[in-house]
Structure formats: structure tokens, C-alpha cells
Structure 1
Amino acid sequence: MTTGLVIVNIAIMLLIIIGLFYMQKKHISFSKRVFTALGLGIVFGFALQLIYGPTSEVVAESTAWINIVGGGYVKFLQMIVMPLVFISILTAFTKLKLSNNIGKISTLIIGLLIATTAVSAGVGIATTLGFNLESVQITQGDAEVARGEMIEQRNLEMQGKTFPQQILELLPANPFLDLTGARPTSTISVVIFAAFLGFAFLGVRRKAPEQAELFSKIVDAFYAVIMRVVTIILRLTPYGVLAIMTKTVALSDFDAILKLGKFVLASYVALLVMFLIHLLLLTFAGLNPITYVKKAFPVLTFAFTSRSSAGALPLNIQTQKSLGVPDGIANFSGSFGLSIGQNGCAGIYPAMLAIMIAPTVGINPLSPSFIATVIAVVAISSFGVAGVGGGATFAAILVLSALNLPVALAGLLISIEPLIDMGRTALNVSGSMTSGLLTSRMTGEIDSSVYNNMDKKIEAEA
């Protein structure tokens, strides 16, 4: 009986996929197909949960098969991340797009990422105080206790690593290891390695132009092939969003979400406020925020459903390019944004936890000195947070341990963690793209005609 029901559910998923493919054949826009996939995934996921229940064997087996599409799509995106970052940064040098002001560009991007993370920490603090959230309001069950013990264990493993040591972690001791993505900071390390090769190329071009010309042609050939792979993968986005959303909704614990609805609401209010701040920054820079939202919708949707900033990197870079950002800046901001200054995971979340937990150890969360300390610690600790699932936990451990707060209490929101993490990841990606757009604007390298041209969207390239 169970097998038959699973087959029926898989057949329904295949019919929906065929429908999305038909929309593609009819040349319906990429954004509309992604939005349709998101809606259908929510509806199908709800249907599975209502009919069978989130803990049923039918749902477990059905989502395991459905995850072949969703999980497979995320893996394809992760597959291309390192080659894309490496070859795009190198191409920026061979085409002389970054060589004259690379220091200024890097400083602006990193500065904007950290500054917006500090602002997001302030937003998280204000929201927590406004909703009067405290950790004592949450009942600890077996899941919360187990999560707390895991966090404490991870904290013990991380203790003793100073801030200078964290900075050293960003440097590529073994670039071939980092090209495999083995470390949380691998993406930044690959950027640095590619930049070294780029500077070396500029030196060779002055002394041996023929060899430099040959190297440049090889890099251009690799770039063309890698970008073609990116295009092929991006065509799968609606199907990936459909499958990921179906699985997420079908397996969600709505009872826990309802019990902790106040915390979910407060989190999303903070995330929405920070997203509006991104739009205000773009407006002050003379860029139309509505255009940004329309063009950024597919990548933000994918980040929301997948909960992976790293997986969203190819879409992130392509979206920035569709907004008139040069290749080099798009790759730098996208890559740096994976490990530095994530507005959602490294900004809002740990700040909210710190304010919620402070009363348990006798600290007044309204104290100006404590609030200033939290913001400073959050900003500094935002270096090296991995752009994959678990990055928020890592950031929370860093911040809470630096403030001498009990890290185990960071496990209190485990039952609603996936739901909150979806919004946090989307905000991370928006922060990364905002830093790229603002940097391009400050350096005068943004192509405003491309930014304002609604025909220049991801669907035009995918």
C-alpha cells in the first residue's frame, strides 16, 4: 500500500515537472516559471502533509525520491561554484577589468558587507526588544536539549581560535584543496589564489607578451565553457525550486511553528526591515529598487528554498551582471559574501539570540553598552561564516562565546530553524548583491542602461 501511494506522489510530481517544461517550451519568462514552481511546491507539499502527516512513511519515501530533483539541482550548482569563481576572477585580470583598482574594489565590498551586517545586528536587537523575546519563553524538549549539547560540543572544538587566526584561515595554504570546497573559507581562498595568478599574468604580459596572449586565450576558452555549463544548470532552476519547496513544506513541523509563532514573526519582521534597508541604499545610490526586486526575484527565491548561499552563487553572479555590474565585481562580491558579512545568518540571528539569552545570566539587554558590544562583536565575528546550512549556528557560537553567554541556549529554536533559515539565506544573498551594486556605483563601473533594461534578465541568458 505504501509503495503504491509513493508511486502516485512521484507521478504527480512528474506531471508538474512536465507542466513546467511545457511553460519553458512556450517561452514563458524565467521569473514566472520560478514563481509558478514555488507556488506549486507549496501547494503539493501542503497536500502531502495534510493527507499523510509530516512523520508518515509515505511522505518520507516520497520526499526522498522528490529530493533527487531538488538535491541534485543544488549539487549541480555547488559543482560549478569553484570553477566559476576561479575562472571569472582570472578572466577579469586577462581582460583588464580589475587590475587598476582591485584594492579599492575589495575594500569597498568587504566594508559594505561588514557595515550592513552591523546594521542588521541593530535591526535584530530592536526587533527582539520590540517583541519582548526571551529564551525563558521557550520550552526545552528533547530536540532542543540535544541541539544544545551539540552546539556546546562544537563550541569546545572552536575555542582557542583568535580573530587573527580566523583571518589566516581565509588564506590559501593549499589552493587545490580549496578548489574542492573542503573548508568553510574555501571560496575566499580561491578568490585570493585567482587574484595572485591574475597579477602574475600582468607581470608576464609586460615581459613575455606572446606567452601572456596564449594564456589569455586559454582562460577565455575555459570561461566560455564554464559559463555555458552555468547556463545549462540555470535552466533547471524552476524544477529545483519545485522539488525543494515540496520537500520543505511536506516535512515542516507546523505544530512547533504555531507554538513559536511569535519568534518566527519577529525573525521575519527583522529580515524584511533589513531587506528594505538594502532597497533604501540602492535608492540613495540612484538605482531603482523595483527593478532590483524584479531582476533579483529568481535568485532570492532559490536562496529561500535551498537555504544555501553557496548554491545560489551562480545565480547571484548572473543576476548582478543582468543589473549592469562588471564580471569582476560581481564575482568578488558574490564570493566574499559567502564567508564575510552575511546579513541574515551572521547579523540578525546571533544578535537576536544574544538579546534573548542575556537576561538568563543577569545582563540587562536594554543596556546601551551591551547593545553596542553585541553589534561590534557581530560585525567582527562575521568573517569566515560558511555559506551553507549551519553557518548561522557557527556565527551564533562565535558571538555568544565572545559575550560569555551560554551557547547551548542557541539550540532553543531548532524546531523552527529551517523556516527561519530560508529567510536568512535570501537576505544573505541580497546583501551580497547589494554590496556589488553599490561598489559598482561608487567606482563608476555600473552600466545603468543594462540595470534599467528589463530585457536584460537571467531568462535572456538561460
Structure 2
Amino acid sequence: MANPAQKHSLTTRIFFGMIAGIIIGILLRTLFDDSGDFSFGVFGLNVSTYALLVDGIFNIIGQIFIASLQMLVVPLVFISLVCGTCNLSEPSKLGRLGGKSILLYLLTTAIAISLAITFAIIVSPGEGINLQADVDFSANEAPSLAQVIIDMFPTNPINAMAEGNMLQIIVFAVLFGVAMAMAGSAGDRLGKMFEDLNKVVMRLVTILMNLAPYGVFALMAKLSATIGFDTFASLVKYFFLVLFVLAVHGLVTYPVLLKVLSGMNPLMLLRKMRDAALFAFSTSSSSATLPVTLETARNKLGINNSVSSFTIPLGATINMDGTAIMQGVATVFIAQVYAVDLSVGDYLMVILTATLASIGTAGVPGVGLIMLAMVLQQVGLPVEGIALIIGVDRLLDMTRTAVNVTGDCTVATIVAKSEGELDEARYNDPDAGSREEDVDFEDFEKNK
């Protein structure tokens, strides 16, 4: 018998796992420490209870959970994108999908950093702090836009998959899918095999989702036990300002864009994004959350595989709205801390640089800090100012990742609606994706 509450049950379990983890972590931090207090002997070794739980059990469970999600990213993106591309009836459709997706991602990023700068100027989070950074911060040099374009094309697709280079995987999968579509009966036979592989991988996603509350509990317990709350005491204004702008962007900007550009009900999208947002919050990784985001887009929002398989992985790679908000607030904050007056031209340059950098630094390790270093250098601010905000960035990273995955699904919904590839009945069904018959992960029929 179908269970309409299945979706809500998973969301509730993840939420309670998160809250329980936070409470346990705070208790451990309060009652124990990592210096050996409350320790005991095991096989002649002195073992700290704190270390056993935090660095042992919670760390192992949490890392296994994240590794399990990351394990699915490459096969899921490659198989799903090949399936979507080989079923395209019009070759020109691929160009339209890419153009619409990239333009929308750039638009949301420009809006995000504009909001961040505006609110930061009004609130002035760095006024009166007058800190001087004594520690150095160095970021890897970001590649040029030309080099990024060149690097999108893999010389060795297997190596790209091994390294998790998402842009190269996307390009190879698209080319492979197009070749399959042009290969006649051979491509049809191979396409059926990929469809079967896609169903198997999505079934594995379902299994991992049911284990998510335990992984989330372990991650939050370790984070709460190790984070130094005194670290961000002096940065509380900056911290809560970034959180506020993230909330405005996620709960106002995306719904308005969705309503204006597609006419769909934004409250339904926000409701169905709960599971993916909780995953993103606990893992702080758009890539690790990708399997859940794809499952949400297909089975809860009704986005056809031909659109979701391209737009969602692309968004996980280049959509940097949350990071752009951090950059905008951090730039104003650091300028105020160092008593540097920025002109209107400087702020416009920050918006332009950060928006273009959202694509230009895609796939680079430490992308958020690299992008911020680029922005600071562009307007003549000291890069070592990044050291002032690193202490609280871990907590903010969790929230901006949740905002990013919400943006990915918003853009995918808008693109799907414009292409006639959105199952509106499924989108408007509050129980879609939670019923037993929806868990087969069948591809949706294209709208006529």
C-alpha cells in the first residue's frame, strides 16, 4: 500500500538527526575536551572519550556517508546525461538548453552579489572592528577564462572521471550521447543499456537516502563538538548578515524569478526542496548532494531527464550564488576593517568579476576562496583579509550550499517549462516522489 507520508517521514528523520547531532556535539564539547580528560585504557592505551566519539565513531560514519554520496556523482552524471542527450529529438535543443541555463545562472549570481553588497553597505558589518590580520592567506592562482574553456575538453575521459572533473565529464557525456543518437540501431541498443543503468543508480540513491539521517547525525555531532564558537564571537554581525542575505536570495529571489519566468508556484518548489536542502546543509557540497538534487528534480518537480541531466550537473559546477553572496559581504567587510573606501566603480567591478568568475573558476579546488581572492585583488584590497573570515566560513558554507542547490532546481524548472519538458501535474502534486509507485525512477514522457 502506498505511503503518502514517506517523503515527510524522510525529511523529519533527517531534521531530527541534524538536531540530535548538534545537541550531542555541544554536550560533548561542554563535558569533555580533547586533551585526555575522562579517558580510559584500551589494550594498554590511554584513549580519550572525546577523541573516541568525535574523531573516531562520528568521523568515520560521517566520512563514509559523504564518500557514499560522492561515489555516485560521476556514474550518475555520466549515465544520466548520456541518456538525456541520446534521446534529444532536435540537435539544436542542446544549444538552447546550454544557453538558457548559463544565462540564468549568471543572472542569479549577479543578483546575489548585488544584494550582498547593498545590504553590507547598509549594515556596515566591519565598522569599528579595526582588526589587523597577522596571518597570511595565499590562494592558488585562478586560470584564465581561455584556459578554462580549453580544459573543458578532456584528453583522457577516464582520467577526468577518476578526478571528478565535472566540466570534462559533461562535455564527454554530451558528445557520447550525440554520437549514440547518430549511430542508428547500435546506438538504440546501447541506449537501452544506459536506461537500465540509470534506473539501477537511482535505486542506489534511494537506498542511501534512507540511511541519510544517521550520516547527518554523525556529521553534525562532529561539527558541533569541534567548532569554536568563540571564533566568530567578534564576527557575529558579518556572520548573521551573510545568513540574512542567503535567506533573502533563497526565499525571495528564486521564487520571484520562478513565478515571473515560468508561472509555476514557487511555494511548491521550496516545499519539495526540503530533503535536498537538508542534504546540502549537512554535507556542504553541491557535488555530494547531486544525486539527491537530481532525484528531486525528476521525481518531485517533474523535470524531464533530457533537461535535468544537463542543467542540474552544470549548476552544481558553475552556480555560485551562495559563494557570490559571501564575496559581496566579505569584500565590504574587509574594506571597512582596513578603512579602505570603495567607489561605485569598485563595487560594479566586484559584481562583474564575481559573476564571470562563477564560470571562470569552475572545477578549481578551493573555488570560493580563490574567487574571493580574485575579487579583493581586483579592487586593491589586501588578500590576507580573508584570514579574518575563515573561522566562520565553515558554518556559512553549509547554508550557501543549500541555497545553491535550490537555485539549481529553480533554473532547471524554468528551462524545462520553456522547453515544454516539465510535467506540471507532477510538479503541482505535493505527494509526487513520495508514493511507492514513484520510486521506480522511470523517465518522464515528453510533453506533446
TM-score band w.r.t. shorter chain: 0.7 to 0.9
Change (3 A) 1:130 1:328: same
Change (3 A) 1:370 1:31: same
Query: Per-residue displacement from partner, 1:375-425 (whole Å, max 9, x unpaired)?
Result: 111111111545798331122123223334321211211221111111111
- 2:159 equivalent in structure 1: 177
Q: TM-score by structure 2 length? A: 0.86
| Residue 90, structure 1, aligned to residue 67, structure 2 | no
- 1:191 equivalent in structure 2: 170
Residues 205 and 291 of structure 2 are in contact (CA less than 8 Å); yes or no, is this contact kept in structure 1?
yes
Cα distance in structure 2, aligned partners of 1:229 and 1:85: 14
Of 191, 214, 217, 1:242 maps to: 217
Cα distance in structure 2, aligned partners of 1:380 and 1:303: 24
Q: CA deviation at 1:108?
A: 0.8
| Residue 401, structure 1, aligned to residue 377, structure 2 | yes
- What is the RMSD of the two structures over their aligned residues, measured on CA atoms? 2.6
- 1:222 equivalent in structure 2: 197
Q: CA deviation at 1:359?
A: 5.2
Change (3 A) 1:400 1:455: same
| Residue 451, structure 1, aligned to residue 427, structure 2 | yes
Change (3 A) 1:223 1:435: same
- 2:72 equivalent in structure 1: 80
3-state SS of paired residue (1:180): helix
Residues 124 and 336 of structure 2 are in contact (CA less than 8 Å); yes or no, is this contact kept in structure 1?
no
Cα distance in structure 2, aligned partners of 1:458 and 1:249: 31
Residue identity matched to 1:70: G
| Residue 294, structure 1, aligned to residue 271, structure 2 | yes
| Residue 33, structure 1, aligned to residue 13, structure 2 | yes
Q: CA deviation at 1:228?
A: 2.1
Cα distance in structure 1, aligned partners of 2:175 and 2:146: 22
Q: CA deviation at 1:269?
A: 0.9
- 1:424 equivalent in structure 2: 400
Q: CA deviation at 1:58?
A: 3.4
Cα distance in structure 2, aligned partners of 1:260 and 1:355: 13
Q: CA deviation at 1:181?
A: 2.9
Residues 344 and 424 of structure 1 are in contact (CA less than 8 Å); yes or no, is this contact kept in structure 2?
yes
| Residue 316, structure 1, aligned to residue 293, structure 2 | yes
Identical residues among aligned pairs (%): 28
Q: Which runs of 5+ in 2 are unaligned?
A: 37-47, 441-448
Q: TM-score by structure 1 length? A: 0.84
Residue identity matched to 2:69: L
Change (3 A) 1:98 1:274: farther
Q: CA deviation at 1:118?
A: 0.6
Give the stretch that moved more between structures: 105-114 or 275-284: 275-284
- 2:446 equivalent in structure 1: none
Q: CA deviation at 1:245?
A: 1.2
Change (3 A) 1:339 1:398: farther
Residues 17 and 213 of structure 2 are in contact (CA less than 8 Å); yes or no, is this contact kept in structure 1?
yes
Residues 170 and 189 of structure 1 are in contact (CA less than 8 Å); yes or no, is this contact kept in structure 2?
yes
| Residue 45, structure 1, aligned to residue 25, structure 2 | yes
| Residue 58, structure 1, aligned to residue 36, structure 2 | no
Cα distance in structure 1, aligned partners of 2:29 and 2:62: 18
Of 329, 333, 347, 1:356 maps to: 333
Cα distance in structure 1, aligned partners of 2:26 and 2:347: 40
Q: Which runs of 5+ in 1 are unaligned?
A: 1-24
Q: CA deviation at 1:224?
A: 2.4
Query: Per-residue displacement from partner, 1:111-156 (whole Å, max 9, x unpaired)?
Result: 111110011010110121122123872645xxx644xx3x32x34x
Change (3 A) 1:349 1:145: same
Query: Per-residue displacement from partner, 1:78-105 (whole Å, max 9, x unpaired)?
Result: 0110100000011113333674511101
Query: Per-residue displacement from partner, 1:172-211 (whole Å, max 9, x unpaired)?
Result: 22211111135xxx11211110110111112212xxx2x2
- 2:118 equivalent in structure 1: 126
Cα distance in structure 2, aligned partners of 1:165 and 1:292: 36
